[in-house]
Amino acid sequence: MVKNMSVKRDDMSVSYRDRAAYTLTEAARYLRLPTATLRSWVLGREYPTTEGGAQFPPLIRPASLQPSLLSFSNLVEAHVLRSLRTEHGVSVKDLRTALSFAQQTLGIDRLLLRQELRTEAGKVFLDRYGELIDLSASGQLAMRRFLEEHLKRVDWDETSFPVRLYPFVSGFASNEDRPIAIDPQIAFGRPVLVRRGVSTATIAERIDAGESVEDVAADYDLGQAEIEQAALYERAAA
């Protein structure tokens, strides 16, 4: 039985966004992150000191620790962290300090989940983040651009919580081009082609089995470009 950090899994009061659903390996594949990187964000990591060893606390609070499982909300947090951490190579320690500042000064818990990142609260957070790492003005502009590109790939509901994530297929695709979605209420939260709700894994399996792109597209009433993007996403995440 999966242990949840706050409530039992069968408690219906748990939001569908916060239920344990993804292993670290799965989540890393879907987000196109190294598993080791995601593990350090979720579980923390040890580092050497003159007195032996110490450990950085995690940046993301997982839905379940034993076993280590992530929720859809955790996926979104990691997606946003990807823009702040991997694109700029900034230390986990500085990022944690900035997140603590956001919570204590701005009064927003789990800012990485919130639509407020696109408003003044996000600007204040990024300004503080830039100060911590002594980032140049041009560097701060680049950081804001990367963050905005990631935030455009998240849909929020009326309560300002995320309900759908559009992962990058390869590199930084146009944000108008969002053929694939991860929605916790569709296909058990696995990646699907948006127009038909067909899982990308199913499409890739059929292509790998020797079926043509044209035939698979016709079966699902999808465009050939959509089929190719689904296969590309699965292969890139493999």
Q: What sign does the dihedral 78-233-17-145 (CA atoms) show? A: positive
Q: Is the preceding peptide bond at 67 cis, omega within 30 degrees of 0?
A: yes
Q: What pLDDT score was predicted for residue 211?
A: 97
What does the pLDDT look like over 196-222, one tens digit per residue? Answer: 999 999 999 999 999 999 999 999 999
Residue spans per domain, the chain: 166-238
Structure tokens at 119: 């408003």
4-8, 61-65, 130-134, 157-161, range with the lowest pLDDT? 4-8
Which residue, among 12, 103, 117, 28, has the nearest Cα to 69 in the 3D structure?
28
Confidence of residue 232 (pLDDT cuts 50, 70, 90): very high
Question: pLDDT at residue 151 above 60?
Answer: yes
43 neighbors 58 (Cβ within 8 angstroms): yes
> What residues are paired with 155 via a beta bridge?
164
Q: Which of the following CATH numbers is that of domain 166-238: 1.10.287, 2.40.160, 3.40.50, 1.10.10?
A: 1.10.10
Report the chain's mean pLDDT, rounded to a whole number. 80
